[in-house]
Amino acid sequence: MKNFQYTEASQPAQAVQQIGAGRDTKFVAGGTNLVDLMKYGIEQPDTLIDISRLELAKIEKTATGIRIGALARNSDMAEHPLVTSQFPLLAEALLAGASPQLRNMATLGGNLMQRTRCNYFYDISQPCNKRQGPTAQAGCGALEGYNRIHAILGLESGDLNQSCIATNPSDMNVALAALDAVVNVSGPAGQRAIPIRDFHRLAGKKPQQDTTLAPNELITSIDLTTPQRAGKSHYLKVRDRASYAFALVSVAARLVVESGRIQDVRLALGGVAHKPWRLTSVEQQLIGKPATEASFREAARQLVAGAKGFEHNAFKIELAQSAIVRALQTVAA
Amino acid sequence: MEPKLIGDPVDRIDGKQKVTGGAHYAGDIKQPEMAYAVLVMSTIANGTIRDIDTADAEKLPGVLAIMTHKNTPRLPGYDANKPGATALGRVLHLLHDDRVDYSNQPIAMAIADSFEHAVDAANHVRVTYQAKTPAPGLPTSKAEPFRPQKLPRPDDPVDTQRGDLNKAMAAAEVSFKQTYHTPTQVHNALEPHTSVAIWEGKQLTIYQATQGIFPSRERIAEYFALPPENVRVIAQFVGGGFGSKGPVWADGVLAAMAAQYVKRPVKLELRRSDMFGMVGSRSATSQQLDIGASRSGDFLGMAHRSLNQTSVFDDFSEPAGILTRVLYKCPNQEVTHRSIRANIGSPSPMRAPGEAPGMFALESAIDELAYQLNMDPIALRLKNYAETDQQKELPFSSKSLRECYQQAADRFGWSKRLAAPRSMRDGNILIGMGMASAIYPTIRDEASAKIKLNADGTVLLSIGTQDIGTGSYTAMTQLAADAFGISPDRVTLRAGDTRQPKTPVSGGSRTTASAGSAVVQAAEAVILKAKQLALNDLKSPLNGQKESDMAVEKGRLFLKSDPKKGEALTALLKRNGGNALEASTSSKSGEEKEKYSMYAHGAQFAEVRIDEALGEIRVSKLTGAYAAGRIVNAKTAHSQLVGGIVWGVSMALLEHAIHDPRTNRIMNANLAEYHVPVNADIPDIDAFFIDEKDEIVNPAGVKGIGEIGITGSVAAIANAIYHATGKRIRELPITPDKILSFTA
Ligand SMILES: Cc1cc2nc3c(=O)[nH]c(=O)nc-3n(C[C@H](O)[C@H](O)[C@H](O)COP(=O)(O)OP(=O)(O)OC[C@H]3O[C@@H](n4cnc5c(N)ncnc54)[C@H](O)[C@@H]3O)c2cc1C
Ligand code: SF4
């Protein structure tokens, strides 16, 4: 770990100001991801601004739904009545992630920003476009290496060795994608709201950039809109062990069925792309269809259409479809 | 107070210390002026260091020295850096040259006044290499296999033949042939390897996380060309070893080199990532099993040909075939071991070395054959039950495997199993039941102990042995207490220090059999002195009696034929001047070793639940019966079984050090990605011992129990997976992707 300066921010505005002032300055919230990355030499900030004491941890009602502060702990979010009653999908996804100890530290903002678990990204002796940036022309270590946890969807159409095949590892983000969360951020130029689907990015030609958040912007909260009809939801996470493992593939599903017909559906996939994978066109197609395995299987096929498998992750193409069908069957039952 | 008896579930004598932080591990040791060393590790697997630039690092605050091959003084005993006679003598990279033989090899050492400063300095050492293509390990390797010179245990031949295999195979009505693959595994004890080295002139004291203070002392003394007496190794508490702390690795010697170089005590504590390479691993294997049988299931011929990997600079050959030689009756057999070399850190013993991967292959093959023959897997095993050790042509000192099958099957509910694969289901979940035999040799080494019986009836037991977390201190205390029939809290133990009587490495499940036997014999020697005192004492009720007619119980010496005649040991000693009685013994196996074959046995059953569409496998039930002679402490012994069985779950489903064959780097060198089971993966484990009395095996009457738990559970789970799904996966670990992409 490189030596660094440490300061605390007491007000959001102060935090934004401080981050604008330094060169290699980063926010630290729960520290569960950033500190690891610093230990491995992947992140090397000169200054850390501790935002964990900012008064941004509230979970409260809004006119259209709820607002969750960026510093809310993952464990508090998962237990909060407003979340469990209106957005059980989010609670379930949160509880599927990490371990109780980690969830007690991890924050909403940190979880949105957590970086990939790609083995080559984590090993600074190995080539990685995401870590080194495209100008370094390093290449992608995973492409012809150990790529079991890597993406099958949303891949760059050009030379993959100049891009990145990593996945976003978060469980929470998959639920937020299905729920159309809006991320509120604050920067030197003021506030802006970023729809979740625009928050995380595909790797494309800028593999170093996971999100559309500017380096000098602070996430302050997210907004969730209460659905007209809640229906049933389920977060299905497939993993190597029963707990404390990242998803091989995950599915966030919410479904409203009436008289055997689908009225409303939300479907997002985790573990398959550089961002949570959601295609609203596929959801549109499902509306009005019978809530049967055949409909679910067709939707699954469409959602992973064009998927590409690499040496170790080709199994995900089939697995993702099985998981989608299973998740929809669970909520249709 | 009633003395606690041998076999009782006695709490660990150090339990309270451990949970209150009173137990001091090597990493807890602090010394005045102590400096900290941190290693710089290689990032290539084959080549030489072209340049190593320490200028920036040396300028950093608190830095005392950066040691590299350019400035490290040559060790006076460096010529001893060769493969040793046993698995404990490993070849080490000690900053003596510019060679890089594997990735994550120590190539420099930063020494500073704090751990943080040392880390910072280590990060500022700049290295450039002249890199060559690394030789990959299994299964990628295309290297020509060679016959290793020896297996880790001198008693195990590399190759064995008996009968006429070719003839038997040609005549067999049913034949079976398959190859099984097991991956590289890394031990990863919770406590990383740690040494604190302190020099006083030519005397070296080392607090070390080690499984063998005496072998460590000898190896370190050898490198520094010192008489072993000049080196003192202390391991009061050890946080797990699993074989990885058996040998002295580079860190143990480098700590002493650093302390000599900076003339201050030095602590070297490995970081988790350092532990993937330089402190051993379980070799990957590729094992071919050939079995020829009669239609009714008699094994006529069997071949087990095992291929393993070793490093380019050392020799260690995973002995995966050894148990095939004894587990079943089979007149015609061939077992061979071959190795390939790769640019990897040297493999080494890991809990049930050879036995764990070997038993996965053998017991999977037997299961496959049972399906092929349409026989119950237990029936097939019973049909080929070995009444004697056919390889050594010796009787067993005791063997209760039949009882193990029976009792474990009953408690598991084997009779509820429907024989056909894929025949048991619960909604989306396929249910499978599988079983396997377990077996582990009983090993005993020379060990010594000293016992002093004080006039107040308390006992002082001095014995070198370390306790690697298994409960050895408790067992030793219990054995001494038992000999005098007193409560264990009347025994004071001095252990974990080379100043105490010499004992072997705690590996190969040998500590209770070896050190425990020394305790029993030392106690017997003290009791003999007490008897002699009594029979020569005119005032003793036992005056004039014969030694062999007397016995001790509950601290009292008495006449066997007339137990009322006798007196308390305290009375005897007080009357005779109040002097303590003391005896030292050295204990080792005698001719019983030539006359008998000695093994602990067991039967392990597993039930799995598999969501086939998602590939997820969960173990839902584990039942195992084990027979291992006398059980000294029901509680710590049960923990050993459970620990071994959990290791089996890990090996079957999760563990795998992933080498990128292009670089030979381990790509999951941390505990987030190197998976072992978490609590949610482990169901209640019903592991129990069945009574087995063995008066031949050793004076303590015990067999090793530390490793047997893993020898059956891996195959039991793999066999259950087949029973559930009809998918026979012959490559560990059995992860969801293998279930999903299975093609017959
Ligand atoms: C062993 C292990 C297992 C895990 N398993 C899972 C799992 O199964 N599923 C899962 O989803 N996650 C898992 N995680 C990841 C965990 O969820 C994240 O580490 C956590 O959510 C990060 O939150 P944090 O507050 O600790 O972030 P930090 O580490 O403090 O920060 C992470 C990043 O976010 C930035 N940041 C934080 N807050 C803000 C803000 N308000 N505005 C702008 N930027 C901000 C920081 O600058 C930093 O770059 C695991 C982590 C570990 C270590
Ligand atoms: S997949 Fe992305 S993160 Fe991984 S090595 Fe390639 S570029 Fe780096």
Q: What is the pLDDT of residues B422-436, one digit of tens each?
A: 999 999 999 999 999
Residues A79, A86: contact at Cβ < 8 Å? no
Q: Are the beta carbons of A242 and B618 separated by less than 8 Å? A: yes
Q: Are the beta carbons of A315 and B615 separated by less than 8 Å? A: yes
C-alpha–C-alpha distance, residues B93 and B96, integer Å: 7
Shared-domain flag, residues B457 and B434: no
Q: Mean pLDDT over all residues of chain B?
A: 96
Of B616, B653, B667, the CB nearest to A238: B616
Q: Write the DSSP assignment of A137-191 as a string of letters.
A: T---TTTTS--TT--SSS--SS-GGGS-------SHHHHHHHTT-EEEEEETTEE
Query: Residues in chain B, how many?
Result: 744
Ligand 2 centroid – CA A210 distance (Å): 12
Residue A67's identity, in one-letter code, is R
Shared-domain flag, residues B305 and B427: yes
Interface of A with B (CB under 8 A): 1-3, 41, 99, 117, 119-120, 122-123, 125-126, 141, 144-146, 148, 238-245, 248, 312, 314-315, 318-319, 322-323, 325-326
Residue B355 lies in a domain: yes
CATH number of the domain within which B570 lies = 3.30.365.10
Minimal-distance CA residue of chain B relative to A146: B660
C-alpha–C-alpha distance, residues A241 and B679, integer Å: 10
Cα–Cα distances in angstroms (integers) from residue A249 to residues A25, B486, B712, in the given order = 33, 60, 32
Residue B143 lies in a domain: no
Of A117, A243, A325, the CB nearest to B678: A243
- In chain B, residues 374-393 whose CB comes closer than 8 Å to chain A: none
Shared-domain flag, residues B383 and B366: yes
C-alpha–C-alpha distance, residues B553 and A330, integer Å: 66
Ligand 1 centroid – CA B546 distance (Å): 77
- Confidence grade of residue B508 (pLDDT, cut at 50, 70, 90): confident
Q: Are the beta carbons of A146 and B618 separated by less than 8 Å? A: no
* pLDDT tens digits, B163-175: 999 999 999 999 9
Among B275, B296, B328, the domain boundary falls at: B275
pLDDT beyond 50 at B691: yes
pLDDT of B132 reads 98
pLDDT of A23 reads 81
Q: Are the beta carbons of A315 and B741 separated by less than 8 Å? A: yes
The CA angle B430-B435-B441, to the nearest 5 degrees, is: 150
Range of the domain at B497: 445-588
pLDDT of B452 reads 98
> What are the b/e assignments for B360-372, b being 16+ CB within 10 Å?
bbbbbbbbbbbbe
Cα–Cα distances in angstroms (integers) from residue A86 to residues A226, A231, A267, in the given order = 7, 10, 17
Residue B555 lies in a domain: yes
Residue B4's identity, in one-letter code, is K
DSSP code, position B414: G
Chain A residues close to B665, C-beta within 8 Å: 123, 125-126
pLDDT in tens, chain A (333 residues): 888 999 999 999 999 999 987 789 999 999 999 999 999 999 999 999 999 999 999 999 999 999 999 999 999 999 999 999 999 999 999 999 999 999 999 999 999 999 999 999 999 999 999 999 989 999 999 999 999 999 999 999 999 999 999 999 999 999 999 999 999 999 999 999 999 999 999 999 999 999 999 999 999 999 999 999 989 999 999 999 999 999 999 999 999 999 999 999 999 999 999 999 999 999 999 999 999 999 999 999 999 999 999 999 999 999 999 999 999 999 998
Based on the residue annotation, tell me whether B707 is a catalytic residue of this protein: yes
State mean pLDDT over B650-677: 97
Q: Which of B640, B652, B675, B619 is nearest to B186 (CA)?
A: B675
| A49 contacts: CB under 8 Å, gap ≥ 6 | A7, A8, A9, A15, A18, A19, A25, A26, A27, A28
State mean pLDDT over B441-467: 96
Q: Write the DSSP assignment of B333-398 as a string of letters.
A: EEEEEEEEEESSPPP---SSTTHHHHHHHHHHHHHHHHHHHT--HHHHHHHTB-SEETTTTEEBS-
pLDDT of A103 reads 98
Closest ligand 1 atom to A103 CA: 17
C-alpha–C-alpha distance, residues B247 and B86, integer Å: 9
Fold adopted by A232-332: Enolase-like; domain 1 (3.30.390)
Shared-domain flag, residues B669 and B685: yes
pLDDT of A22 reads 75
* pLDDT tens digits, B185-209: 999 999 999 999 999 999 999 999 9
- Ligand that comes closest to the CA of residue A120: 2
The percent of residues in chain B predicted with pLDDT above 90, rounded, is 95
Segments in B109-249 forming alpha helices (H): 115-123, 165-171, 213-223
Beta-ladder partners of B269: B194
C-alpha–C-alpha distance, residues B591 and B312, integer Å: 39
State mean pLDDT over B566-585: 97
Shared-domain flag, residues B476 and B451: yes
Residue B158 lies in a domain: no
Among B573, B588, B603, the domain boundary falls at: B588
3-state SS class at B230? helix
Shared-domain flag, residues B453 and B396: no
pLDDT of B10 reads 87
Structural domains in chain B (count): 3
- Ligand that comes closest to the CA of residue A115: 1
Shared-domain flag, residues B677 and B555: no
Shared-domain flag, residues B329 and B458: no
* pLDDT tens digits, B329-367: 999 999 999 999 999 999 999 999 999 999 999 999 999
Q: Are strands A47-50 and A5-8 parallel, antiparallel or unpaired?
A: parallel
pLDDT of B192 reads 98
Residue B144 lies in a domain: no
Which helix (H) or strand (E) segment holds residue B197: the answer is strand B194-200
Shared-domain flag, residues B634 and B552: no
Structure-token pair, residue A182: 């809006």
- Confidence grade of residue B44 (pLDDT, cut at 50, 70, 90): very high
A141 lines ligand 2 (CB under 6 A): yes
Residue B152 lies in a domain: no
Ligand 2 centroid – CA A230 distance (Å): 38
> What are the b/e assignments for A148-172, b being 16+ CB within 10 Å?
bbbbbbbbbeeebbbbbbbbbbbbb
Residue B194 lies in a domain: yes
The percent of residues in chain B predicted with pLDDT above 70, rounded, is 99
Q: Which of B73, B70, B193, B57 is nearest to B118 (CA)?
A: B57
Q: Are the beta carbons of B677 and A244 separated by less than 8 Å? A: no
Closest ligand 1 atom to A28 CA: 30
* pLDDT tens digits, B91-141: 999 999 999 999 999 999 999 999 999 999 999 999 999 999 999 999 999
Shared-domain flag, residues B378 and B435: yes
pLDDT of B3 reads 57
| A319 contacts: CB under 8 Å, gap ≥ 6 | A238, A248, A249, B614, B615, B736, B737, B740
pLDDT beyond 90 at B154: no
Residue B95 lies in a domain: yes
Which helix (H) or strand (E) segment holds residue A303: the answer is helix A293-303
pLDDT of A1 reads 81
Chain B residues close to A33, C-beta within 8 Å: none
pLDDT of B6 reads 79
The percent of residues in chain A predicted with pLDDT above 90, rounded, is 97
* pLDDT tens digits, B581-608: 999 999 999 899 999 999 999 999 999 9
Residues B503, B467: contact at Cβ < 8 Å? no
pLDDT of B511 reads 87
Shared-domain flag, residues B481 and B435: no
State mean pLDDT over B142-152: 96
CATH number of the domain within which B215 lies = 3.90.1170.50
Shared-domain flag, residues B423 and B367: yes
